[in-house]
Chains A and B, each alone.
Chain A
Amino acid sequence: MSLAAFIVEAVRVYALIGLCLAAIFLVIGIGRITPDARGAYVFRPLLIPGVVLLWPVVLLRWTAIERGAEGGQAPYLPPRRAQGFVALGMAALVVAVVAMVFAMRSEPPVERAPVLLEAPQTATGEP
């Protein structure tokens, strides 16, 4: 099996597991971890793509909430400094890519000089 075939198959298996978890989580789990979801059903299908894509994270958070673990950093403490640096990094990368690509576009097409191919040689040296 080639690497590409393995990757495609792995993605399919990953999505299948995600679909199974989505069914269990959205039918049984979600009502157990938050009272806000009890009696609310219309929004649940909207969560299916997210559960399929992030099912390992869903599994970790679900078990953590069931165990009563803390939710991590307080909601009012934003990653504000990180956001500024990430945005600046994006800006620098975008400027570099645009400059590089326009430099590439300005070059004339590269044409290789034609090469004269030799005819196959026989054992006697005759073509």
Chain B
Amino acid sequence: MSVKFVPVQWTINKWLYDAVLIALVAIYIWMFIRVGNAAADVTRPVDGATVRMRAFGTCAFFMLSFILAIGPLARLDKRWLPLLYNRRHFGVITAVVAATHASFVMGWYYAFSPTDAYEALLISNLAYNTLVGFPFEALGIFALLILVILAATSHDFWLWFLTPPVWKALHLSIYAAYAAVVGHVALGYLQDVKSPVFPLMFAACALGVAGLHAAAWWASRDGRVEAGEWVRVAPAGDIPDQRAVIVALGGDERAAVFRDGISVSAVSNACAHQNGPLGEGRIVDGCITCPWHGFQYRMQDGCSPAPFTEKIPTYRLKLEDGVVFIDRRANPPGTPVAPLVLEGAP
């Protein structure tokens, strides 16, 4: 994180992540053009421009599928978390690949149109009342517009400027974009290709993304929340050292109860940066560290260490018969709360 909007030094992991990603995109494009398209056995002979637009289009579909799979995968298994750290670069590169696909489409199908190319794009197929031959281009335009907006607002300035809830809500439109991309591919290329390979890969990706989101939602849904001011968290010994137990407090609120040796403290489970699940992170250098982008908060007051200024709410805790309870009424962000001290804990 950076306290001002100035460039920061990228870690070797970020360079590696981007290098591997760009290399994989290049290999996929090369393989599709050299091998994949010949095996597709389409109904009509295919020219080079069409091959290139299909290479970039299918690449963007697979990339978007993988981006949408990272979130639920990391939620279900923490070993996927490293892929989450640099997901915004993944998204920006996907938008570039999708825009390249669109530029090939415009440069081939509409280059010699007597009317304006963009106008021709809008009027070339108006069969919106039929499924077979549906103007799938409209779905692609919609998805590309969302991808470009999300890529354009991926800088942290926008998070601050729009406020995190608005930014987060805007970026939820990625789900609408994915549904549109699935429709775009399904009603477009999938209706043309004869080989079963791409249709099977398409179905596996689309259904895989759908299944992972359903599984992650099922795994993270809240159980019944107890009534009253104090909510049972867990026996003190069940809170893993340097990590947290997440507890639902009713409504949309969740708290993360962290243990650092014999000290136990509770903060909001939502990071003030991008609402990452703090309770799935761990304590690094004495600070609660968000698993998404490494934002840090002190356990005792929910404040980021200086010079950073982020603050999150804290909660009061109490110990009864070896069981930790939390007061569901959140303190204002940055309120100091003395940690609960566990006698005799390791």
Contact = CB atoms under 8 A, between A and B. Distances in A.
A102 B210 contact: no
Contacts of A114: none
Interface string A17-42: 00000000000000001101101101
B6 to A, nearest CB: 5
B155 A82 contact: no
Contacts of A89: 175
B148 A90 contact: no
Given A79-B165, A95-B207, A104 B153 contact: no
A101 B122 contact: no
Contacts of B254: 80
A78 B206 contact: no
A32 to B, nearest CB: 13
Interface in B305-333: 310, 312-313, 333
A49 interface: yes
Interface residues of B, number: 67
Contacts, number: 168
B43 to A, nearest CB: 9
B217 A88 contact: yes
Contacts of B152: 49-50, 53-54
Interface residues of A, number: 54
Contact of A75 (B119, B178, B272): B272
A101 B187 contact: yes
A93 to B, nearest CB: 5
A8 B122 contact: yes
A40 B206 contact: no
B206 A86 contact: no
Contact of B186 (A37, A54, A98): A98
Given A2-B123, A75-B272, A91-B211, A40 B162 contact: no
Interface of A: 2, 4-5, 7-8, 11, 33-34, 36-37, 39-40, 42-43, 46-47, 49-50, 53-54, 57-58, 61, 71-84, 86-95, 97-98, 100-102, 104-105
18 contacts: A8-B122, A36-B3, A40-B4, A43-B157, A50-B152, A73-B165, A76-B268, A76-B270, A77-B253, A79-B168, A86-B175, A88-B213, A93-B179, A95-B206, A97-B179, A97-B186, A100-B131, A101-B187
Given A77-B252, A98-B186, 6 more contacts: A43-B5, A78-B270, A79-B165, A91-B211, A93-B179, A95-B206
